[in-house]
Amino acid sequence: MSLLLPALVVFLLLNLVAGLWRVFLGPTAADRMLSALLFGSTTVAMLLVLAQWQQSPALRIAALLFVMLAAITSIAFVALTQGRVAARRAPAPPVEPRQ
Amino acid sequence: MNLLIDVLIAIGLVVLAWQALVGGSLFRGIVMFIVFGLTMALAWARLGSPDLAMAEAAIGAGVTGALLMIAYWRLRALGASRPTPRSRLRARLALGVGVLSSVLVAMIGLAAVEAIGPGGEAGQALAAALPATGLGNPITGVLVIFRNLDTLLEVAVLLAAYVASRAALGDDKAALPLPPAQDAPLVGALVAVLAPLTVLVAIYLLKAGSQLPGGAFQAGAVLAAGGVLLMLAGRLHPAPLCGLGLRIALVAGTVVFSGVGIIMLALGQPLLAVPGTWAVYLIETAMMVSIGATLVLLFAGSAGLSGKALR
């Protein structure tokens, strides 16, 4: 049991590393944003496991803050994509060519 | 296993920082920076600093992510879609400055490691003095009572940042453009739930901060996140003038903090002495309001806020 929680943290961290590949690759902004949101969930899971493992209940509040505020970045992102539909003088779509 | 976790986090942080700064795609850099913030929160959690993990969560998830997204939108709206070509000379200068800065940071780090003897005398002194203050959270004790000049200056720096942003943006433009407000039904429902929740959580963090991890900085950041949400949803708009209420909110932290300190000096106590737990709560509440208001105004890039749209 004492090994289960740290093993879970390592597993979740490796998940994060694997997901980073998607952020790096893209190709669209939406792909990158979605993986960032997924990282948010993974971080919450890791904070909860760490709270239990390190006997530090305050980390659950940090996890709560992440959950509560995760939507704000995505609303800002949606504003980016809607801007080009709604406004005439709006910027180019946030879809980037592969470099 | 512990070492493996820490090494993974450390390597991840370096790679993410590098990826956030290296050229290529601007949007990729923004996402890398957001993920850097998440990993930083994990690092603080591993280092046993839940206070900092909370601050990172509130600032990173609530303010910086949205701020960078909007900055990206503004860059494109202002027609700066192509980054300016880099000059070779500037790159070489940057390399030199970067290496010198790294050396400086390494020297300071080495000095700090050598300066702290075994046991840590400041930590022992703090543990001995804390019960007399009625506070349970040593970090709040250090921030508001024992090293409160630093904290006062931090609040003053935030105020200075707002004034500097006003000076830099000038008066000719009432506000920087914001993307069209999101008034989809889902966003409306989210705002209805989330905006009151941010106020509740901010007050909880402030109240908990005296005994448990939390405090004015985390609470102010959560309040600011609520304001950012209201702006994104089109419930709050940038305004060309700063109203009286907002002015009071901006300076509340600095004025109340230094006011309490000066009154104590007049009463024959040392400068910036804090008379009791009630004063800690008073100062922290004022600081929370100031931090929240300043961050929202920095996000808006405007002098003030109003409930009605400009145009």
Domain definitions of chain B by residue range: 1-81, 135-311
B281 CA: distance to closest CA in chain A (Å): 20
Residues facing residue B305 across a β-bridge: B238
Question: Hey, CA dihedral for B189, A37, B207, B217, is it positive or negative?
Answer: negative
**pLDDT of A61 higher than 60:** yes
B86 CA: distance to closest CA in chain A (Å): 17
**pLDDT of B311 higher than 60:** no
Task: Return all residues near B188 (Cβ < 8 A) that are at least 6 apart.
Answer: B233
Predicted pLDDT of residue A6: 85
Predicted pLDDT of residue A98: 47
Q: What is the DSSP string of A43-59?
A: HHHHHHHHHHHTT-THH
* Chain B contact for A5 (CB, 8 A cutoff): no
pLDDT > 90 in chain B, percent: 22
Question: Which of A86, A90, A94 shows the shortest CA–CA distance to B78?
Answer: A90
* Chain A contact for B62 (CB, 8 A cutoff): yes
Question: Which of B208, B228, B230, B211 shows the shortest CA–CA distance to B219?
Answer: B208
* Chain A contact for B9 (CB, 8 A cutoff): yes
Q: Please list the alpha-helical segments (H only) found in A1-99.
A: 4-25, 29-53, 58-86
Task: Give the count of beta carbons closer than 10 Å to the beta carbon of residue B105.
Answer: 10
Site of tokens 């960032």:
A36
End-to-end CA, chain B: 58
Cβ of B198 within 8 Å of Cβ of A7? The answer is no
Q: Convert the pLDDT of each residue in A30-44 to its tens digit.
A: 888 888 888 889 999
Helix, strand, or coil (residue B291): helix
* Chain B residue numbers touching A91 (CB-CB < 8 A): 73, 76-77, 81
The Cα B288–Cα B202 span in angstroms is: 8
Task: Give the count of beta carbons closer than 10 Å to the beta carbon of residue B85.
Answer: 5
Higher pLDDT, A85 or A74: A74
Higher pLDDT, B263 or A81: B263
Contact between B5 and A6 under an 8 Å Cβ cutoff? The reply is: yes
**pLDDT of B292 higher than 90:** yes
* Chain A contact for B39 (CB, 8 A cutoff): yes
Q: What is the ipTM of this complex?
A: 0.81
**pLDDT of A2 higher than 60:** yes
DSSP H or E run through B70: helix B65-77
Contact between B76 and A92 under an 8 Å Cβ cutoff? The reply is: yes
* Chain A contact for B147 (CB, 8 A cutoff): no
The Cα A91–Cα B27 span in angstroms is: 14
* Chain B contact for A37 (CB, 8 A cutoff): no
Higher pLDDT, B73 or B99: B99
Average confidence (pLDDT) over B106-114: 86
List the single residue in A10, A43, A86 with the smallest CB-CB distance to B4.
A10
**pLDDT of B183 higher than 80:** no
List the single residue in B1, B73, B228 with the smallest CB-CB distance to A3.
B1
Predicted pLDDT of residue B278: 86
User: Any long-range contacts for B10-15 (C-beta under 8 Å, 24+ apart)?
Assistant: B10/B43, B12/A13, B12/A16, B12/A17, B12/A20, B12/B39, B13/B39, B13/B40, B13/B43, B15/A20
Cβ of A10 within 8 Å of Cβ of B65? The answer is no
B273 is written with which tokens?
Answer: 């002495």
The Cα B195–Cα B183 span in angstroms is: 15
The whole-model pTM stands at 0.83
List the single residue in A13, A69, A92 with the smallest CB-CB distance to B58.
A69
Amino acid at position A84, single letter: R
* Chain B contact for A50 (CB, 8 A cutoff): yes
**pLDDT of B8 higher than 80:** yes
In terms of CA atoms, which chain B residue is nearest residue A21? Answer: B32
**pLDDT of B273 higher than 90:** no
Banded model confidence at residue B288, pLDDT cuts 50, 70, 90: very high
Count interface pairs A-B at CB distance under 8 A.
182
Q: Give me chain A's average pLDDT, please.
A: 79
Helix, strand, or coil (residue B238): strand
**pLDDT of B30 higher than 70:** yes
* Chain B contact for A18 (CB, 8 A cutoff): no
Q: Give me chain B's average pLDDT, please.
A: 84
Cβ of A16 within 8 Å of Cβ of B12? The answer is yes
User: Which of A10-24, A75-89, B153-167 shows the lowest mean pLDDT across its residues?
Assistant: A75-89
Backbone angles phi, psi at B238, to 5 degrees: -65, 145
Cβ of B70 within 8 Å of Cβ of A79? The answer is yes
Cβ of B73 within 8 Å of Cβ of A83? The answer is yes
* Chain B contact for A7 (CB, 8 A cutoff): yes
List the single residue in A36, A63, A83 with the smallest CB-CB distance to B179.
A83
In terms of CA atoms, which chain A residue is nearest residue B204? Answer: A61
DSSP state of B134: T
Contact between B42 and A63 under an 8 Å Cβ cutoff? The reply is: no
The Cα B91–Cα B89 span in angstroms is: 5
Q: Convert the pLDDT of each residue in B216-264 to its tens digit.
A: 899 999 999 999 998 888 888 887 778 888 899 999 989 998 998 888 8
List the single residue in A16, A24, A72 with the smallest CB-CB distance to B232.
A72
| Structural Rg of chain B based on CA atoms | 22
Helix, strand, or coil (residue B85): coil
B111 is written with which tokens?
Answer: 């000095």
The Cα B190–Cα A76 span in angstroms is: 13
The Cα B298–Cα B242 span in angstroms is: 13
Cβ of A77 within 8 Å of Cβ of B69? The answer is yes
Residues facing residue B239 across a β-bridge: B304
Predicted pLDDT of residue B202: 92
**pLDDT of A87 higher than 50:** no
Banded model confidence at residue B23, pLDDT cuts 50, 70, 90: low
